[in-house]
Amino acid sequence: MIEVLSMPFMQRAITGGLILAVIAGVLSVFIVLKRLSFIGVGISHTAFGGVALGVLLGINPYVTAIIFALLGAISIGSISRRGMIHEDTSIGILFATAMALGVIFIALAKNYNVDIMGYLFGNILSLVDSDIYLAVAVGVLILLFLAIFFRRMIFAAFDEEVAVVNGIPVAFLFYMFLSIVALTIVISIKMVGIILISAMLVIPGATAYMITYDFLLLTILSVLFAIAGVLLGLFASFWFNLPSGATIVVTLTFLFLIVLAVNPKKRVIL
Amino acid sequence: MKKALRVSGLNVTLSGRRILENISFDVEEGKILGIVGPNGGGKTTLLKAILGLVSYEGEISIFGFSPAEARKRGIVGYLPQRSLFDPDFPLKAKDVVALGMVKGWFGKLPSDWKERVEHYLKLVNMEEWKDYPFGKLSGGQQQRVSIARVLAGEPQIVFLDEPNTGVDVVAQEDFYQLLTKLNRELNLTIVMVSHDIGVISSYIHEVACLNRVLHYHGAPVCLTQPEILKKVYGPAADRVLVHDEKCENCGYPDISGGK
Ligand SMILES: Nc1ncnc2c1ncn2[C@@H]1O[C@H](COP(=O)(O)OP(=O)(O)O)[C@@H](O)[C@H]1O
Ligand SMILES: [Mg+2]
């Protein structure tokens, strides 16, 4: 075990995984409170169109992925705030279209060397130093933003109208939040992949939500569940030679099911 | 006397329907205004327009400021008409009260926020419930905690939309006494939508009778005048007035069950 931990690729995997776990742990609290999990799915799948466009144009797929994810976040956000079309309808259309475009771009690129599976499902053991630097930089910015606006975001999630009357910049916070989700999705592409990241943005918060009525404790627990899921999943994937992203998600789900079975809030089920 | 609120020529159209038509009235600082009218009469919409939460035509000024400016300055408090909260939402009663002090883009809670939370919870008789999950309180209890939240923000003017929904009769009486006290001691201006128009008449300074247009604005005497009530409520006016012991010879039968 010690030897494994001393290997550089493992150290990078652990560092990257921990950064992602902390960010996803905090974000998932708001995603669960505001019921935005489908928005997370929508944004991440939109990013796939961006990756594919980057491959087609021969430019860094991360750049195009960020652009697609941010555009997806802002359009989903404005549709949802205006309430013209039902949110689930618009997301359903948007993300399927972005995926379809992605498939077409990949087919046009005819570049069979591109590891599409890597983008879709990630491989946290393949991180390089520059991935870590990017994750640290983005992570620090995101956590700084969340630290400044945490209470205001809770307020907006709880009672939006009163938050507006108290002068809280609710619309700004909403779009910033979606943009942060988009950035998180992009830095997580190599780690857990486009398909699986939405699970990390929901499960830790949903697990902690079943335990406490205290929002600070909820956030701490959510981060701890995310960290536990990432570390346990990472080691399990290494020992049993399983795909890392999928193993992390299944581990998170396993923790979720344990808490669900224990039912700490003694909720009446059925 | 300073004008706390000035509404002039206000029109509100929602989804192509005119909900409020040419509403004009003023409220002086330190007054309590009650807004009455039938369901769907536009009372909630009026409050939302005044707060700038729905788009409107006309002029609104709150202590001389536009709705957006007044919100930015943190001088308004708002209690929306009661809505259902997620019973699992991770906020305790004391956290909800503390949110009332969270204002604007930045800025911390005031240094005495804990004392303020205790103080306002005590005012609404909810201090024993401070560590209880807000979503698990009864509707009336949630309403009282929400009122404490509005007060904790220490606004200059408050807008309360049916603050007594779900609150029992004893607590209602206490609540009106509390409003009167805050109004007198802090010179707090209060605009309140209410259904129990017989009861509020003895606590408010002015009343506005609203049903798309403003039928009456003035002393609460309108609550005892059949012709005004008929205009606002239509033929059902007979059933509107909750008979109050302070209201005699109003021309309506006692329908409160002989209180
Ligand atoms: N967003 C909206 N779009 C269209 N009509 C609305 C909207 N909100 C309220 N209304 C309508 O405006 C009218 C007044 O509603 P409201 O202000 O809630 O009345 P009250 O509070 O007096 O019961 C109602 O007929 C209601 O259906
Ligand atoms: Mg109403």
Q: Quote the mean pLDDT of chain A.
A: 91
Distance CA B102, CA B109 (A): 6
Q: What's the confidence (pLDDT) of residue A226?
A: 97
Mutate to test the interface with B, among A161, A213, A268 (most CBs of B within 10 A): A213
Q: Considering CB atoms only, which of B53, B72, B102 is closest to A151?
A: B102
Ligand 1 atom closest to Cα of residue B41: 22
Of A108-117, A201-210, B69-78, the range with the lowest mean pLDDT is: A108-117
Question: Is the CB of residue B131 less than 8 Å away from at least one CB of chain A?
Answer: no
The per-residue pLDDT for B247 is 39
Q: Which two tokens stand for residue B64?
A: 């001389």
Closest alpha carbon within chain B to A32: B89
- Which chain A positions have a beta carbon within 8 Å of B100's beta carbon? 166
pLDDT at A49: 93
Residue with the smallest CA separation from ligand 1 atom 26 is B40
CB-based contact, B113 to chain A, within 8 Å: no
pLDDT average, residue stretch A246-263: 95
Residue of B55, B72, B105 to mutate when probing chain A, most A C-beta within 10 A? B105
Give A151's contacts in chain B (Cβ within 8 Å).
99, 102
Distance, in Å, from the CA atom of A81 to the CA atom of A174, rounded to the nearest integer, reads 9
In angstroms, the separation between the Cα of residue A261 and the nearest Cα of chain B is 17
**Residue A25: is its pLDDT beyond 90?**
yes
In order of A34, A148, A153, B80, B219, the CA distances from B102 in angstroms are 19, 12, 11, 17, 36
- Which pLDDT belongs to residue B108? 86
Q: Whose CA is nearest to atom 16 of ligand 1?
A: B42
The whole-model pTM stands at 0.89
CB of B95 within 8 Å of any CB in chain A? yes
Q: Does the beta-carbon distance from A154 to B91 stay under 8 Å?
A: yes
Give residue B240's pLDDT: 56
- Indicate the pLDDT class of residue B248, thresholds 50, 70 and 90: very low
Closest CA–CA distance from residue B133 to any residue of chain A (Å): 6
pLDDT of residue A47: 93
Residue B259, pLDDT > 50, answer no
Nearest in space to A197 (alpha carbons), one of A153, A228, A229: A229
Residue B239 pLDDT class (50, 70, 90 cuts): low
What is the C-alpha to C-alpha distance for residues A148 and A135, in angstroms, rounded to an integer?
Answer: 20
Give the nearest ligand 1 atom to B39 CA: 23
- Find the mean pLDDT for residues B90-109: 94
Q: What is the 3-state secondary structure (H, E, C) of chain A?
A: CHHHHHCHHHHHHHHHHHHHHHHHHHHHHHHHHCCCHHHHHHHHHHHHHHHHHHHHHCCCHHHHHHHHHHHHHHHHHHHHHHCCCCHHHHHHHHHHHHHHHHHHHHHHHCCCCCCHHHHHHCCHHHCCHHHHHHHHHHHHHHHHHHHHHHHHHHHHHHCHHHHHHCCCCHHHHHHHHHHHHHHHHHHHCCCCCCCCHHHHCCHHHHHHHCCCCCHHHHHHHHHHHHHHHHHHHHHHHHHHCCCHHHHHHHHHHHHHHHHHHHCCCCCCCC
Question: A166 vs B106: CB contact, 8 Å cut-off?
Answer: no
Q: Strands (DSSP E) along chain B, which ranges?
A: 3-14, 17-28, 32-36, 57-62, 76-79, 157-161, 189-193, 206-211, 213-218
Contact A177, A154 (CB under 8 A): no
Closest-CA residue of chain A to B85 = A158
Task: List, in order of start, the domains of chain B with CATH numbers.
Answer: 1-75+156-259 (3.40.50.300), 82-154 (no CATH)
Within 8 A of B91 by CB-CB distance, chain A residues are 154, 158, 213, 215
Q: Which ligand is nearest to the CA of B233?
A: 1
Neighboring chain B residues of A213 at a CB cutoff of 8 Å? 88, 90-92, 133, 136
Q: What is the pLDDT of residues B57-66, one digit of tens each?
A: 999 999 999 9
> What number does CATH give the domain A2-261?
1.10.3470.10
Asked if B191 contacts B33 with a C-beta cutoff of 8 angstroms, the reply is: yes
Q: Which pLDDT band holds residue A115 (cuts at 50, 70, 90)?
A: confident
Q: What percent of chain B has pLDDT over 90?
A: 56
Dist CA A151 CA B105 (whole Å): 11
- Relative to beta strand B157-161, strand B189-193 is parallel
Any idea where the domains of chain A sit in the sequence? Answer: 2-261
Q: Report pLDDT for B253.
A: 39
Task: Answer with the residue of higher pLDDT: A85 or A163.
Answer: A163
Q: A219 near A29, Cβ under 8 Å?
A: yes
Residue A269, pLDDT > 70, answer no
Q: Which residue has the tokens 């001088």?
A: B75
Q: How far apart are CA B212 and CA B23, in angstroms?
A: 9
User: Residue B224: pLDDT above 70?
Assistant: no
Nearest CA to ligand 1 atom 17: B42
Could you tell me where the beta strands, DSSP code E, fall in B110-170?
Answer: 157-161
What does the pLDDT look like over B162-218, one tens digit per residue?
988 877 877 788 888 888 988 998 899 999 998 777 777 788 899 888 988 888 787
Q: What is the mean pLDDT of residues A60-75?
A: 92
Ligand with smallest separation from the Cα of B42: 1
* C-alpha distance from B151 to closest chain A C-alpha (Å): 12
Given a cut of 80, whether residue A240 has pLDDT beyond it is yes
Q: Which of A148, A165, A219, A221 to mutate to test the interface with B (most CBs of B within 10 A)?
A: A165
Q: Going by CA atoms, what residue is nearest to atom 13 of ligand 1?
A: B40
What's the alpha-carbon Rg for chain B, to the nearest Å? Answer: 18
Within 6 Å (CB) of ligand 1, which residues are found? B 14-15, 17, 19, 37, 39-45
3-state secondary structure (DSSP) of residue B22: strand
> Is residue B229 scored above 80 in pLDDT?
no
The closest of A167, A132, A140, A148 to A12, measured between CA atoms, is: A132
Of B84, B6, B52, B44, the residue nearest B194 (C-alpha): B44
Ligand 1: which residue has its CA nearest to atom 9? B45
Mean pLDDT of chain B: 85
Task: Choose the weakest-confidence range: A46-55, A84-93, A113-122, B240-249.
Answer: B240-249
Mutate to test the pocket of ligand 1, among B13, B44, B82 (most ligand atoms within 8 A of CB): B44
Residue B258 has pLDDT above 70, yes or no: no
Reduced to 3 states, what is the DSSP secondary structure of residue B92? strand
Residue B140, pLDDT score: 86
Confidence of residue A3 (pLDDT cuts 50, 70, 90): confident
Q: Do A212 and B90 touch (CB under 8 A)?
A: yes
Q: Can you tell me the distance from the alpha carbon of A209 to that of A264, in angstroms, rounded to the nearest whole number? A: 10
Tell me the average pLDDT across A90-101.
89
Cβ contact, residue pair A166, B133, below 8 Å: no
B195 part of contact set with chain A, CB < 8 Å: no
Q: What is the pLDDT of residues A145-168, one digit of tens each?
A: 999 999 999 999 999 999 999 999
Q: What is d(CA B23, CA A13) in angstroms, rounded to the nearest whole number?
A: 64
3-class DSSP state of B251: coil
Residue B255 has pLDDT above 70, yes or no: no
Q: With beta carbons less than 8 A apart as the criterion, state whether B152 and B97 touch.
A: yes
Is B74 an 8 Å CB contact of chain A? yes
Quote the minimal CA–CA distance from A179 to chain B in Å.
18
Half-sphere exposure of B202 (CA within 13 A, CB side): 12
Nearest by CB to residue B104, choosing from A33, A167, A267, is A167
Distance CA B225, CA A123 (A): 77
Least confident stretch, A112-121, A239-248, B106-115: A112-121
Assign residue B166 a region (left: φ > 0; alpha: ψ between -120 and 50; beta: otherwise): left
